[in-house]
Structure 1
């Protein structure tokens, strides 16, 4: 069984369903509300676990997050390096969802940002034993850089989801094998708006490959995926689904992607095509259900998403 190690965030989410996303200064009355567990790291860890991997989660909770250890245990996710702050609350998010599935999210990272270099040093055995290391930017940049530096020193492939988007330190980028931004994050990183001129977008990715990134996978929502390496790119259209909530679409894509990646074949994009197709189908299931963690497919369905 493939071993995935995820450094990331875990949040207490409050979700509101609304008739329309509010404009600036506008108030709207929700048609529904519910609470759940989220955070990019947690969502990606659950997706990888539901897709059949052995998963270790590195993160940090607050004093209000004891019950989340029980949730990680129920999911079968190792939390031996899920640390806990004595005085900083668990991260939280408010999610607003429109009928077409589009959303707005406000995140308070809180304890997620408080993971320390000393704590990261304690994660060394997990990194050394994993097959693939995954992180985002909802912890802190020092932790992410230390995590990937250790993974690369151990010869482990690394997958970076640059969200929430920020300038990427050279040391982090040098340690990244696969970069997975969405269209908003890519626009920030390359400095041009994302359109369907995929050749133009690809022409701006040179600095990633020059830094050592092997693969760039851009998730484009209903417009599919742009799969790129230093030799070229492919645009893979999305399957048609009845989208009701796009929350965790990108996270589920990444968790499913790493579950089907062959760590020994990351030399070109062709080797990743089956894994990308699987991840698209997995994420398609997620967006057709309400919620983040709650929308993940059960383990019993995971093999049905393979491309035919």
Structure 2
């Protein structure tokens, strides 16, 4: 079973600060680090390191940064499905507080111009029983079309609609699994209660829902008729939370592609996210393949 991750990739510049700046204020950073990110790339790498067979479909620009992205991702992914557009490569600026919280600003011209159905052979490559994982960086029209075609082709569809942008709760009929954090669930549905938000997503067509709660863990609804399974977060000294949600989502779906149940996959993903927040960086903070193998073994032993 293949996992098709369709999304974005960008160059991240992270500035470490004692606190986030106030409006109109200039602060000096204690450090600045540049790396590769983007929710699509983050989730694809996490899934690949979990052991999944990942096909990553994303746009890059026609500049030097695109070459850096390709070289960096080669260590984890097949880069043959990255397509070049006549645009600047997408990039993000991350402001990181000493306590681990962050604020992010992104330029997403490539992501917004990307249409994998028209510009790639995605729909000719996927097969029945594969999984499609998407996020919120592409236009909602493109995302909705991909999800609909994938569903019609027999794929399991997964959506992590972050950033929310144009996503509409009315359009989840073609999504099998929705993964959102608590604030996204509230913004998407207009409901503060995670349980109520999940119920509304089920009513709109979702088959399963995972709501992440940061330090409080997550709730997993495998089926509308089943009670939620609460999963506690693993203890970690928080250093950098950027990309932790992508680590969770990517590894969870990667494990689904390897035959794990939703709850089993979420338990491993919770451990992976705890490792990521205790390290600096995004992709650099994610567990290695060897570390994933170890936490999968630990989780399997706990389930015996």
Return the TM-score normalized by structure 2: 0.90
Aligned to 1:211: 204
Instruction: Output one character per residue of 1:125-152: Cα deviation in whole Å (capped at 9) or x when no partner.
Output: 3322772110001022222122212221
1:193-212 pair list within 5 angstroms: 193=192, 200-212=193-205
Contact residue 56 and residue 126 of structure 1 kept, 8 A: no
SS of residue paired to 2:200: helix
Alignment partner of 1:289 is 2:288: no
RMSD of aligned alpha carbons: 2.1
SS of residue paired to 1:205: helix
Aligned to 1:268: none
Among 267, 280, 304, the alignment partner of 1:277 is: 267
Alignment partner of 1:246 is 2:241: yes
Aligned to 1:90: 89
Contact residue 244 and residue 287 of structure 1 kept, 8 A: yes
Compute the displacement of 1:114 (Å): 0.8
1:183-202 pair list within 5 angstroms: 183-193=182-192, 200-202=193-195
Contact residue 120 and residue 143 of structure 1 kept, 8 A: no
Aligned to 2:81: 81
Aligned to 1:58: 57
SS of residue paired to 2:8: coil
Alignment partner of 1:230 is 2:220: no
Among 199, 202, 221, the alignment partner of 2:214 is: 221
Compute the displacement of 1:207 (Å): 2.8
Contact residue 137 and residue 164 of structure 1 kept, 8 A: yes
Aligned to 1:108: 107
Contact residue 180 and residue 210 of structure 2 kept, 8 A: yes
Distance 1:250 1:120 in 2: 28
Instruction: Output one character per residue of 1:154-200: Cα deviation in whole Å (capped at 9) or x when no partner.
Output: 2111110011113534785111011011122111012134xxxxxx4
Instruction: Output one character per residue of 1:257-291: Cα deviation in whole Å (capped at 9) or x when no partner.
Output: 012226888xxxxx422111100001111111101
Distance 1:63 1:186 in 2: 36
Distance 2:80 2:134 in 1: 17
Distance 1:170 1:187 in 2: 11
User: Structure 1 stretches of 5 or more lacking a match?
Assistant: 194-199, 266-270
Aligned to 2:7: 8
Return the TM-score normalized by structure 1: 0.89
Aligned to 1:255: 250
Segment drifting more, 12-21 vs 36-45: 12-21
Distance 1:36 1:119 in 2: 29
Distance 1:90 1:61 in 2: 5
Instruction: Output one character per residue of 1:99-148: Cα deviation in whole Å (capped at 9) or x when no partner.
Output: 11111111111211111365356211332277211000102222212221
Aligned to 2:289: 299
Contact residue 128 and residue 153 of structure 2 kept, 8 A: no
Contact residue 20 and residue 99 of structure 1 kept, 8 A: yes
Quickly say closer, same or farther: Cα 1:100–1:204, change in 2 above 3 A.
same
Instruction: Output one character per residue of 1:59-86: Cα deviation in whole Å (capped at 9) or x when no partner.
Output: 11111213322333232x2333321112
